[in-house]
A and B are shown apart, each in its own frame.
Chain A
Amino acid sequence: MGTLSLNRIDHLLWLGRYLERAFTTQRFILTAYDRVADRALDDIDGDWKGQLVDLGFNCETETPLEFFQRCLFNRDNPSSVARSMDAAYDNAIACRDALGTESLGYIQMAVNALEASSASDSPLLDLQLVQDNIMAFKGCIDDFVVDDAARCLVKCGMTVERIDLCARLRYRLDGIPHEVDRLASRLDRTGASYSRQAVKELAAQTFDPAFPQNVDDKGLERMIACANGIFA
């Protein structure tokens, strides 16, 4: 591995986490919006309804679009996509020399695209450009970042966040085993210390053939704790 300080490791991991948070939250919002856009709250599928109410949706005071815009662009909301992108940017620019100006450009463009989409008359449609740039960043670091450890740290951060978010939002749970698999293949290449026990527990839970059908709220909480405990 190249020269990476603990600070730098932290920045790279959190860059991955915040970027993934911004990305998966957008995807979740787009899917959720599609489910609720033309329905009354009472007509929405049980799971989705619970998730939206958990997220703070109030059908009495706002339309689904207003609610989703709040989740996307409101910087007073610490879980908003805008706040996640700001945090991703802050971590990314601290690593310009490790990631390269070329790769970093995609983060900047994602930030710019999100800003533009907040002022757009079709904000959800314009989110595509934000996602395109995040995807381009992921591809770009494969091509431009020579240091395998730096690359793996960003990707591990992304995977940890995806597991965490999917478990929290009960969203795309069936994809989690694949994420755990990818995580396991990269952890040793990061050069960072991590909890093997947390990975083992996560794998035991998600590689169970009955997963995700057998997972209850407690199981999801355990999964979230394991994911967050890997680099703790």
Chain B
Amino acid sequence: MDAHDPAGRTDVAPYTGLVPHTPKINQQLARYGVKFGIYKDGTFNERLFPFDAIPRIIDARTWATLERGLAQRVDALNAYLRDIYGAKEIVREGVVPEDFAFASSGYLPQCEGVTPPCGIYSHISGIDLVEGTDGSWYVLEDNLRIPSGASYPLIARSLCRRCDDTTFRRVPVVDNRDYGRRLKEVMDHVNRGGINVVLTPGRYNAAYFEHAYLAEQADALLATPDELFCEDGRLYYRDAAAMRRVGAVYRRLSDEFLDPLCFRPDSLIGVPNLMAAYRAGSVAIVNAPGNGAADDKGLYYFVPKMVEYYLGERPILQNAPTYLPFYPDDMAYVLDHADSLVIKDVAEAGGYGVVFGSTLDADGLEAMKRAIRSEPRRFIAQEVVDFTCLPTYIGGEVVPRKADLRAFVLSGPTTTVWASGLTRYARQEGSVIVNSSQGGGFKDTWVLSR
């Protein structure tokens, strides 16, 4: 087939062998139950996650920069979390304003003074990036709570490798299928004695496939909350024959539901006293509770400053130009330029709460400005990054579609970046909403070894 590249690139040859197999690969993904759940009108539905066989390709040189930048960023974020729940020096020195840091909804006073095993808060970090049309990469968001998505390129790679015997021989793609082993390594590193479990809220969670698949890949036990219990300051798995002590729990449910005795008392999916066991140091929680204090959309603004403050280095990766209406100067700029900015509600996720000023009419724009004036902490505003389109095979032809990248950084004995990632693309022409919950598809991410 003619795999011309409407994005204007010339390096289309590497993936041409895969493109004709796209429908078959998707059939195989359906065969393995690669799905995500979505609630609509109160009903749970599972959807297949459309896969495009044309990968995002990142050359070795670019990757080397991204890799260093991502590790640097996550190291700084981990340092911030240690500090904010400990000495709070960054606040004392005015780098991050006090009321700003502690007003974040992700900051949990219950985690004050608790240092997680090995001092690691964010073990699995999902950093969302886009490549601008000028070739620069921008970080759009840090996800330090329960970032999803690693399982999809992981399973897709295995299938792609079966399609075409020449592609992977010809193209020097770094093998990404060690994610399960690396996840295990991270869990083993902080394990306080006992088995590793992946804690899932259950079958009707949007990312349930991923929970189960990663448990299998990392040789951990998939556990639902009612299979875990705490006794004498320790966490146990309720085995039919005996109690099995749990040393590390990779939890895939939100902080507020984790322990009804510590957070939301109405949580039916938490494990009572889990936080007490965690505070006692008898179990590691991956990722640590309270990480929302650092991945709040508002805190994002300060991450480059954190890199300088904690690591004494210049940030390798840049943020998209961001304004905080919290600051008077930024407020004035945002109100003056609201029609050309993208405004994000810091409390929302999954592509929701994102408004492009250019799409609002006069009344909508005025309402948005009123909301910003009355709740400045709730919003951030960013310059619209014109991010690149990737060639995508849709409806029998290769067309350009906007795409982002979620890179995964694993913090264990060292901080490493998984040489792959989830590339999500918008299905609709011109759309920049790539979220799976809003109809986006995914691609594999190829990192070249040379």
Residue numbers of A with Cβ under 8 A of B are 1, 3-9, 90, 93-97, 100-101, 104-105, 108-109, 112, 191-192
Contacts and interface: CB of A to CB of B under 8 A. Distances in A.
Contacts of A101: 32-33, 155, 213, 216
B203 A96 contact: no
Contacts of A8: 227, 240
Central interface residue in B155, B202, B212, by most chain A CB within 10 Å: B212
B211 to A, nearest CB: 9
B447 interface: no
B238 A109 contact: no
Does more than half of chain B's interface fall in helix, strand or loop, or is it mixed? Answer: mixed
Central interface residue in B209, B226, B237, B239, by most chain A CB within 10 Å: B239
B349 interface: no
A97 B423 CA distance: 26
Given A96-B212, A97-B216, A6 B238 contact: yes
B239 A3 contact: yes
Contacts of B198: 97
Contact of A97 (B155, B209, B221, B227): B221
B155 to A, nearest CB: 8
A5 B33 contact: no
Interface string B180-207: 0000000000000001001000110000
- List the 4 closest pairs (A to B, CB-CB), nearest first: A96-B212, A97-B215, A5-B227, A97-B222
A70 to B, nearest CB: 24
A191 B33 contact: no
B30 A4 contact: no
B31 interface: yes
Contacts of A112: 30-31
Interface of B: 30-33, 155, 195, 198, 202-203, 208-209, 212-213, 215-216, 220-224, 226-227, 237-241, 244
Contacts of B31: 105, 108-109, 112
Contacts of A3: 195, 221, 237, 239, 244
A7 B215 contact: no
A108 B30 contact: yes
A4 to B, nearest CB: 5
Contacts, number: 68
Given A7-B224, A96-B216, A105 B33 contact: yes
A32 B221 CA distance: 44
A1 B241 CA distance: 9
A101 B226 CA distance: 24
Does more than half of chain A's interface fall in helix, strand or loop, or is it mixed? Answer: helix
Given A5-B227, A101-B213, A108 B33 contact: yes
Contacts of A1: 241
Given A96-B213, A97-B215, A4 B203 contact: no
Contacts of A100: 216
7 contacts: A3-B239, A4-B241, A101-B32, A104-B33, A108-B32, A112-B31, A191-B241
Contact of A7 (B216, B220, B226): B226
Given A93-B208, A108-B32, 9 more contacts: A5-B227, A6-B238, A7-B226, A7-B227, A90-B203, A94-B202, A94-B222, A97-B216, A97-B222
Contacts of B195: 3
Nearest to A104: B33
Contact of B240 (A90, A94, A109, A191): A191
A191 B239 CA distance: 11
A154 to B, nearest CB: 15
Central interface residue in B33, B220, B222, by most chain A CB within 10 Å: B33
Contacts of A109: 31
Contacts of A105: 31-33
A231 B237 CA distance: 22
B240 A192 contact: yes
A192 B241 CA distance: 8
Nearest to B158: A101
